[in-house]
Amino acid sequence: MQQRQLGPFTVSAIGLGCMNLSHAYGTPPAPEQAEALLLAALDAGITLFDTAALYGFGANEELVGRVLAPHRSRFTLASKCGMTGVPSENGPKRVIDGRPATLKSTCEQALRRLRTEVIDLYYLHRWDKQVPIEDSVGALAELVREGKIHSIGLSEVSADTLRRAHAVHPIAALQTEYSLWTRNAEIAVLQACRELGVAFVAFSPLGRGFLADGLPDLATLAALDGKDIRRAMPRFSSDNHTANLALLSEFRAIAAEAGCSPAQLALAWLLTRGEHVIPIPGTTSIAHLLENVAAAGIQPGVDTLQRLEVLFARGAVAGARYNAATQAEIDTEEFAG
């Protein structure tokens, strides 16, 4: 496995996003399946594990802590605060809360669930626009001084917000969606990370399964669990998905000619975008996990990269990545129109 720098840590070039072991894509896998997946990732050379207080409203942190705490010295642990669940009549409700007291309280809970004395990388999951970014980052900086976290990250923020935060305390990593079919990071924040020496952690690097050929037709889309978050994403409406399937067909062909799977090509492409880029695909399948890990050894040729640029040129993908309500919660740059 290639290694890349993330703040003070040297980590595997491909990490593991743990969210879907507890959250967001319908019924999560059985505990024994999730446990086996985490241990297989560790054995395969993955040394960056990414979780959050939000995922399963604490269940994902508990899972990661229970399974990986005995191996704590072997990996870099990342979690997130600032977007959590609070009790409501219909079960936990997702809220964005970046107030310093809330962030510190969330960290204490995370340390207990993760069964660790310190979190290596602690992200502000979302910038609470009611709280100056300087105040939220200032609270995280206090956690660094107290020895409860080693480094600070941000998620789904713009280059301007990154620079404001970095002026308060060095930011080790910025995490946002980035893949062949979601290229907003290329507007400004990818370059800002490079200039500031900030690692860029790409979540959903496989297009929420699309680039891994996991939604090959409308029938598969229609069969998604009722609680699958893709059901609320415009890109996965029937009309947009139908339009995007034409891209998938050509993408499969390019991957076949490159001698790899579509998922491997998508990850290998990301690794060419800069030495500071670290994708964190998630999966519930050990076979898919090992397929993803192998992508670190694939080097797409110039012709392959050019064909991908043409196929996924701006405007080629149908549908926005988020609906209007979710889009209002984030701070990332957007292409005009």
pLDDT at 1: 87
pLDDT band, residue 89 (cuts 50/70/90): confident
* C-alpha–C-alpha distance, residues 121 and 78, integer Å: 5
pLDDT at 262: 98
pLDDT in tens, 214-264: 999 999 999 999 999 999 999 999 999 999 999 999 999 999 999 999 999
At residue 337, does pLDDT exceed 70? no
* C-alpha–C-alpha distance, residues 191 and 29, integer Å: 37
DSSP state of 28: P
pLDDT band, residue 291 (cuts 50/70/90): very high
Identify the CA nearest to 107 among candidates 98, 119, 120, 125: 119
Please identify every residue annotated as catalytic. Answer: 55
* C-alpha–C-alpha distance, residues 223 and 174, integer Å: 33
* C-alpha–C-alpha distance, residues 302 and 253, integer Å: 16
**Domains in the chain: boundaries:** 3-208+261-300
pLDDT at 275: 97
**What CATH number should be reported for the domain whose range is 3-208+261-300?**
3.20.20.100
pLDDT at 88: 81
**Mean pLDDT on 162-180:** 98
φ, ψ at 49 (rounded to 5°): -115, 130
pLDDT at 9: 98
At residue 21, does pLDDT exceed 80? yes
Answering whether pTM is above 0.95, one says yes
**Mean pLDDT on 153-179:** 98
Burial 207-227 (b: 16+ CB within 10 A, else e): bbbbbbbebeeeeebeebeee
**Mean pLDDT on 150-172:** 98
Write out the H or E segment, with its range, that includes residue 159: helix 159-168
pLDDT in tens, 58-73: 999 999 999 999 999 9
At residue 192, does pLDDT exceed 90? yes
Q: pLDDT averaged over the chain? A: 97
**Which stretches of the chain are assigned E, i.e. beta strand?**
3-6, 9-12, 16-17, 48-50, 76-81, 83-86, 93-96, 119-124, 149-155, 171-177, 199-203, 277-279
**Mean pLDDT on 127-138:** 98
How many Å separate Cα 266 from the centre of its chain? 15
At residue 86, does pLDDT exceed 90? no
